[in-house]
Structure 1
Amino acid sequence: MGQPPRRFRFAPQRFRPKGARRMPGLSFNRLLPNILTMLGLCAGMTAVRFALDARWEPAVTLIVVAAFIDGIDGRLARLLKATSRFGAEFDSLSDFLCFGVAPAFILFLWTLHDARGFGFIPCILFAACMALRLARFNAAIDEPLAPGAVPRPPGFFTGVPAPAGAGLALFPIFAALAFEGWGWTGLAGAIRHPVLSAVVLVGVAGLLVSTLPTWSFKNYKVPRPAVLPLLLGAAGYVALLVAEPWAALAAAGLLYAGMIPFSLRSYHRLRGQLARAVAPEGEETREAGSPAIP
């Protein structure tokens, strides 16, 4: 029997004038994550600008926008295969401004300036802890795993990540704006007391540099029975965010803080399973160094 005729595919060739050279530079896909990071940086600076004019609502809204941008620029870089050391360093510098300097500055102008010079101490502490967290992350990028150390279970941050830390620090403003919208001016004034904001800033600063494991939700697999309730809950939260944005943001902060003990329990359970699977019988293992992930 005769063989079927072969099919030829003609690949289109790009027309290039004779002697023309390819233009040097980076493609737009590789620049897009850095452009998003720059937009987040601009959002943080603009938040400071609004805080100087005592416009608290747009100021904290821009911090939330910067957190949203920070959540997608890294994933977009990995999707486009545009990750680079420059992008990682630029992202850390942007995070320090948006989530370390700007929230502390907003809280100082909002209420902490009433405590005279003492109100600036928690702001400095919070910014310093944010810088230490980000520096620890940059130093741990190329750090190899020590011999005999048990690797950390995937899906966990070390300490509270930078965007979540900024959201927790701004919790008093979210709660006060919600109570003012409901007409509860007395309760809103009590929340605006400098002592509460100072305590929150110091507590969140400790969480930033701590080694507490917190869920990252990157590799978390949702069980099939929980998919529908999760989607309905997300839709309900979006509806609450549209109707009562400040109450929704304050509730998100309380929910996140309440999940920390559960993430700690889950981490120790998974790490015990890893230790039993990796270590030979009769040989003791030690915990790996704690990488910091912003």
Structure 2
Amino acid sequence: MGEPAEKKKTEFALIQLLPNLMTVGAICAGLSAIRFGVQGHYVLAVQLILLAAILDGLDGRLARALGSDSKMGAELDSLADFLNFGVAAPLVIYFWALQDMSSAGWISVLVYSVCCVVRLARFNVATKSEDENPEVPDGYFVGVPSPAGALLAMLPMFFSFAFDVETGLPRILICIHMIVIGLLMISHLPTWSPKAVRISRENVKYFLVACAFAGAAVLTYAWTTLVVLCVSYLGLVIWGLIKRPSG
């Protein structure tokens, strides 16, 4: 006699739990980044946030590929995003360069974190809504996504690690930089999304070579490559702001 149908619906293969395990791993990475930031191990802290960003980019796609995406997984992913990119990233920056300042450093952290949680809340509402945003073309996000925002906020750290300078920028400029990135996250500026990119069959070989080159650059000159990628992305954001139709 077979098992009841209701029981079968509540059972999952272990591989179907892998996306949620990756999200939990990203949460652990973010929390550990805060710990190492407090202890002054800034390179390791940043590396853990980068690991969390990689896991964040993979867990949702893996869940859809395995047919194991769920409302719980989506909520868990959103909470992980806020912890990793709205809390861990600005705190690591604060411990690295801003904790010896007056209240300006902490205010910039608060502004950035609030912008990040507002951006995630808006994204969750838009995802659950059936209505599309007519102001944003297909293949674009509304505002800078939180993982990209965290990487852009840590750009001064990448610059410092790449060129072996103490902070890379005056502390007040780091504060202003964080606030500007936070405002970009909650803006209605269309920002490029790689999800909509399609590669023709003829260009696949060139794309693979480019990916191999990028991977080699990251492995060989990690911080310099991250600086270049962040500056390039900022260029795309600025271009989108310039080309945005008025009215």
**TM beyond 0.5:** yes
**What is aligned with 1:117?**
103
Q: Which digits, 9 at most, give the CA deviation of each residue in 1:154-187, with x for residues without a partner?
A: 211111111111000000001001111xxxxxxx
CA distance in structure 2 between the partners assigned to 1:20 and 1:89 by the alignment? 30
Q: What RMSD over aligned residues (CA atoms) do the two structures have, in Å?
A: 2.5
SS of match in other structure, 2:195: coil
Which is helix-richer, 1 or 2? 2
**What is aligned with 1:207?**
184
Change (3 A) 1:52 1:228: same
- Structure 1 contact 66–98 (Cα < 8 Å) conserved: yes
Instruction: Identify which range, 224-233 or 35-44, moves more after superposition.
Output: 224-233
Alignment partner of 1:98 is 2:84 = yes
Shift of 1:137: 1.5
Alignment partner of 1:153 is 2:137 = yes
Alignment partner of 1:67 is 2:53 = yes
CA distance in structure 2 between the partners assigned to 1:266 and 1:72 by the alignment? 31
Amino acid paired to 2:161: L
Determine which structure has greater relative contact order: mean sequence separation of CA pairs < 8 Å that are 6+ residues apart, divided by chain length: 1
Listed as ranges, the gaps of 5+ residues in structure 2 are none
- Structure 2 contact 157–167 (Cα < 8 Å) conserved: no
**Amino-acid identity (%):** 37
Listed as ranges, the gaps of 5+ residues in structure 1 are 1-17, 181-187, 269-286, 288-294
Q: Which digits, 9 at most, give the CA deviation of each residue in 1:202-249, with x for residues without a partner?
A: 110011001111111112123566545443333222222112111111
Q: Specify which of 14, 31, 43 is matched with residue 57 of structure 1.
A: 43
Instruction: Identify which range, 36-45 or 244-253, moves more after superposition.
Output: 244-253
SS of match in other structure, 1:211: coil
SS of match in other structure, 1:214: strand
CA distance in structure 1 between the partners assigned to 2:198 and 2:54 by the alignment? 22
Give runs of aligned pairs for residues 27-66 of structure 1, distance below 5 A: 27-66=13-52
**What is the TM-score with the length of structure 2 in the denominator?**
0.88
Instruction: Identify which range, 127-136 or 20-29, moves more after superposition.
Output: 20-29
**What is the TM-score with the length of structure 1 in the denominator?**
0.75
Q: Specify which of 165, 179, 187 is matched with residue 149 of structure 2.
A: 165
May I ask how many residue pairs the two structures share in their alignment? 243
Amino acid paired to 1:115: M
Q: Which digits, 9 at most, give the CA deviation of each residue in 1:117-161, with x for residues without a partner?
A: 221000000000000011111222332328xx8485321111111
